[in-house]
Amino acid sequence: MNFPRASGILLHPTSLPGPFGIGDLGAEAYAFADFLEASGQSLWQVLPLGPTGYGDSPYACYSAFAGNTLLISPDQLVADGLLSNVDATPEFADDRVDFEAVHKYKDSILSQAFVAFKRESDSTLQLAFADFCRRYVSWLDDYALFRALKDAHGGVAWNEWEPALVRRDPAALETAKQNLSEQIEAQKFYQFLFYRQWFALKADCNQRGIKLVGDIPIFVAHDSADVWTNPDQFKLKADGSPIVVAGVPPDYFSATGQLWGNPLYNWDQMRADGFKWWIRRVHATLETFDIARIDHFRGFAACWEIPGGDKTAERGRWVEAPGRELFTAIRNELGELPIIAEDLGVITPDVEALRDDFDFPGMRILQFAFSSDTKNIDLPHNYHKNVVVYTGTHDNDTAVGWFSSVAGEGSTRDVDQVERERKFCLKYLNTNGEEIHWDFVRTVLASVAKTAVVPLQDVLGLGTEARMNLPNSTEGNWSWRVKPHALTDEVVARLRELTALYGRTDTQRTKVTNEADTKLN
């Protein structure tokens, strides 16, 4: 990836502050861009932006192409004349997302906005919506029908619908389209609003010289428009349930492995049609973001296949995947790919060769460095330029939380290992640990790695209460929000000083050209 020495912040938009129960694409998103610019950052990394399903995980979305409508800004809808006001907003907590309450509120105001749009005489908005529907027809029609049918069936998974709809009988689909035409149009309109606001924010960031880094989960959710629409692309039984599911073997996070439950790809079928679905997916991602991080990159060399119905990941097996053929096909269609490979976990020579042959930078996690092995690749003296280094990721505890942790909390480490890592950390970083988060930030910014990314929690020195996700758990994840006014002038000045000191600011930064900024206006 041809990118100058730079740094940025990892913060999912749902974690932004604001009065509507969840971060959104309104004023606070632009204020965060102000913070990035003022502190010398040139990257804003987010998690997947898709519509979340059960568990509210951005890694289990109803679509690999659609956007999360919870991120639509009510204030922007008022500005567009689609809402009269937001005075009746419920009282929401400012430090956590209550997804159930937020869904109820956002669904209500989006419905009001759609009613207003149907009455709207503003031809500009009508034409922009029509253009959006034409431009994204390849996924939008199927997604809107999927969501309308899902609502009509009380939210149950698609493989529990009537058999004719499960197998996508043309007559049944046509009847559904006629019966649910209003709901289908509403779903399309909500996607229009999301992308209209997202591309406006992206254009603003790009004008400041800030690139957006998105996330492509290697797998998609079983209960998604992608699997329902393309069942031949996945390893499914005749009734639509998965034959095998994805996960990882026992590791640092869990003694029984991680059972993700996603259906696995039918690579033979994908190869036969030239990987068209994957090409469309990567193209859409690189239109939405400037850079893409591919989660669980090692799955393109081999996947951990777990029998469908198992309760843990322990009985899985490694099954080869055609990653080289896939990325060759994508590159031949789309050109050079600005992709970061999440190469964490069990990495074998074939994974390294796949990553390096396509010149994808891998990742290093400072929090993983302190095993007392001086050859540990996560130790800064073992970095090379073509890696992206993080203090931690959305799956880690915060730096302060990790440093203060005890055995058994969120990892498989025992008491001796925890103490050994803590002592080695203090010695390696030459610190007393009083500001361990700034020690971590300084270390990754000072490293030889061309790109350094820091979760906002580590800039702010927050503890375990600010952790975004605990792998292999199902409660309390994804809900953390930064409190209002947390991004003080002191934080800005300190981060900018370190960023400049280690050569990661560029006053002559080239503005990013963005073809999407005028698409939906």
Q: Kindly give the confidence (pLDDT) of every residue in the chain, 521 residues in length, as a single tens digit, with 9 standing for 90 and above.
A: 666 899 999 999 999 999 999 999 999 999 999 999 999 999 999 999 999 988 899 999 999 999 999 999 999 999 999 999 887 789 999 999 999 999 999 999 999 999 999 997 778 999 999 999 999 999 999 999 999 999 999 999 999 999 999 999 999 999 999 999 999 999 999 999 999 999 999 999 999 999 999 999 999 999 999 999 999 999 999 999 999 999 988 876 678 888 989 999 999 999 999 999 999 999 999 999 999 999 999 999 999 999 999 999 999 999 999 999 999 999 999 999 999 999 998 789 999 999 999 999 999 999 999 998 999 999 999 999 999 999 999 999 999 999 998 876 555 678 888 999 999 999 999 999 999 999 999 999 999 999 999 999 999 999 999 999 998 788 889 999 999 999 999 999 999 999 999 999 964 444 554 444 444 54
340 neighbors 294 (Cβ within 8 angstroms): yes
Q: What pLDDT does residue 507 have?
A: 45
Of 28, 75, 215, 342, which is the active-site residue?
Answer: 342
Q: What pLDDT does residue 86 have?
A: 84
Within a domain: residue 91? no
Q: Is 342 among the residues known to form the active site?
A: yes
Distance CA 174, CA 153 (A): 17
Q: What pLDDT does residue 412 have?
A: 66
Residues spanned by the domain of 412? 365-477
Angle value at C-alpha 265, between 328 and 290, nearest 5 degrees: 50
Within a domain: residue 268? no
Q: What pLDDT does residue 518 have?
A: 42
Burial class (CB in 10 A: 0-12, 13-18, 19+), 103: middle
pLDDT digits (tens, 9 = 90+) for 368-402: 999 989 999 999 999 999 999 999 999 999 999 99
Q: What pLDDT does residue 255 have?
A: 83
Within a domain: residue 393? yes
Bridge partner residues of 365 (DSSP): 390
Single-letter code of the amino acid located at 79: A
Q: Is 87 among the residues known to form the active site?
A: no
Distance CA 386, CA 363 (A): 9
**Sign of the CA dihedral 331, 332, 336, 338?**
negative
Within a domain: residue 432? yes
Q: What pLDDT does residue 372 have?
A: 86
Which DSSP helix (H) or strand (E) runs through 106? Answer: helix 99-119
- Tokens, residue 142: 């199927």
Q: What pLDDT does residue 410 have?
A: 54
What is the distance in angstroms between the CA of the first residue and the CA of the last residue of the chain? 31
How many distinct structural domains can be found in the chain? 1
Within a domain: residue 323? no
Of 395, 397, 439, 458, which is the active-site residue?
Answer: 395
Within a domain: residue 189? no
Within a domain: residue 43? no
Q: Is 395 among the residues known to form the active site?
A: yes
Within a domain: residue 467? yes
Of 295, 343, 397, 421, which is the active-site residue?
Answer: 295
Q: What pLDDT does residue 279 have?
A: 98
